[in-house]
């Protein structure tokens, strides 16, 4: 079994444990989603190292930056989800206060911009630390990685739904 297959099998094994747990215990689903997100990030970094043929020096710069940026983005995402829940509550509670609504909308937009800025920050780090060939490989890697992961996640969800329904 090659490295890619081994990593994919490991990921699907981990996913197989976390997705059903999230479905069985809704109060802990956020925790399970966070573990899945962390596992996907680890897999992405491992695959990126392999695909881009990163040197030890490049890895020493890129990995800590990627982990920090992903954690910051996860925090921002949690804040967005909370703001969206608050916004839904405001809208359901009756005639909303226009100023309060405007504040929530502005907050959500600002948090979304902050996530974009984190992505741009990581892109700058890559720009400074990758060769031209690696930059080209990174573009293709990113497109392929997220497409393949989406397909695998959808297959895993389908299998889970089928097993749950049976």
Q: Which two tokens stand for residue 49?
A: 């190292």
State whether 117 and 65 are in the same domain.
yes
Q: Is residue 43 part of a domain?
A: yes
State whether 5 and 39 are in the same domain.
yes
Query: What Å distances lie between residue 124 and 27, 101, 102, CA to CA?
Result: 38, 35, 33
More confident position, 115 or 22 = 115
Name the average pLDDT for the chain: 85
Q: Is residue 124 part of a domain?
A: yes
Phi, psi of 25 (to 5 degrees): -125, 85
For the cut 50, the answer to whether the pLDDT of residue 21 exceeds it is: no
Domain extent, residue 32, equals 1-53+148-166
Burial tier of 37 (Cβ tally within 10 Å: 0-12, 13-18, 19+):
middle
Hey, how many other C-beta atoms are within 10 angstroms of the C-beta on 70?
19
Q: How many domains does the chain have?
A: 2
State whether 2 and 18 are in the same domain.
yes
Q: pTM (2 decimals)?
A: 0.72
- pLDDT tens-place string over residues 68-113: 999 999 999 999 999 999 999 999 988 888 999 999 999 999 999 9
Start-to-end Cα distance in the chain: 32
């Amino acid at each position: 079994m090659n490295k890619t297959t081994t990593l994919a099998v490991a990921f699907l094994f981990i996913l197989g444990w976390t997705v059903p747990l999230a479905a069985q215990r809704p109060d802990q689903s956020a925790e399970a989603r966070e573990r899945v997100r962390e596992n996907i990030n680890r897999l992405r970094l491992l695959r990126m190292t392999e695909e881009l043929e990163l040197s030890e020096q490049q890895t020493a710069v890129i990995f800590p930056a990627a982990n920090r940026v992903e954690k910051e983005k996860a925090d921002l995402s949690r804040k967005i989800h909370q703001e969206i829940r608050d916004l839904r509550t405001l809208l359901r509670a009756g005639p909303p206060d226009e100023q309060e609504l405007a504040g929530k909308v502005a907050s959500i937009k600002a948090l979304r911009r902050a996530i974009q800025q984190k992505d741009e920050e990581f892109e700058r780090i890559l720009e400074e630390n990758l060769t031209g060939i690696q930059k080209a490989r990174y573009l293709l890697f990113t497109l392929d990685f997220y497409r393949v992961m989406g397909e695998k996640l959808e297959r895993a969800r389908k299998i889970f739904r089928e097993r749950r329904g049976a």
